[in-house]
Amino acid sequence: MNVQNTGIDPEEEGPVQQRPTREEAEAAVRLLLRWAGDDPTREGLLDTPGRVARAYEQWFRGYSEDPALMLQRTFEEVEGYDEMVVLRDIRFESYCEHHMAPIIGKAHVGYIPTDRVVGISKLARVVDAFSKRLQVQEKMTAQIATTLYEVLRPIGVAVVVEGEHHCMSTRGVHKPGVSMVTSTMLGIFREDDRTRKEFLSIIGNPTNRLS
């Protein structure tokens, strides 16, 4: 069996383990198909294991990405700009680590720079890097905020995440349309009520924002 690095930080996610081969992953999909009650050898399912493996490479690519590296290139020519920078309605697709069901939603990210800013696409990339992993929304929210705060060293960082959890809407209590809202406020956003209210005013009321 080939030994591959999972891309997971050992200090954050636990020890690096041997990653199964593509063949082993596809065999696992065939087993699940049989367990679900279908026949993996029938025509419609013959290529399904390969498709699922390729889909997993896309859905969980965040394990091989380093969000901190995405923020290394910054711009200092900001003409003294020291007000809030906000990127709202960043659509994300993640997966619940308890049921592996989708979490679909939007993230809103704001920060107040000191002497440098980062390209706005990098903010969206950081959200994607953390969302493309098995996640708990509360943890993902904190990861995004902490990474921005530690790498950019701004005056403050604010992150609000809204997500619809399909483990709740398509199974269990079957409550579609319910969104979960989580937030992490660091620096001045935690310390100053007016700054926090300004950010929340900019991103707007979360109600119905997922539509």
Q: Is residue 129 part of a domain?
A: yes
Q: Is residue 99 part of a domain?
A: yes
Confidence at residue 198, expressed as pLDDT on a 0 to 100 scale: 96
- Identify the active-site residue in 65, 166, 167, 198: 167
The tally of CA atoms less than 13 A away on the side-chain side of residue 191 is: 6
98 labelled catalytic: yes
* CATH number for position 118: 3.30.1130.10
- Tell me if 96 sits within 8 A of 165, measured CB to CB: yes
- Identify the active-site residue in 98, 138, 150, 191: 98
Q: Is residue 49 part of a domain?
A: no
167 labelled catalytic: yes
Q: Is residue 14 part of a domain?
A: no
Q: Is residue 52 part of a domain?
A: no
Any binding-site annotation on 99? yes
Mean pLDDT by 10 residues, the chain (211 residues): 41 67 96 97 97 96 95 85 93 96 97 92 97 97 98 96 92 88 97 96 70 44
- Identify the active-site residue in 26, 162, 164, 165: 165
Q: How far apart are CA 39 and CA 43, in angstroms?
A: 9
- Tell me if 70 sits within 8 A of 64, measured CB to CB: no
13 labelled catalytic: no
Q: How many domains does the chain have?
A: 1
Whole-prediction pTM: 0.86
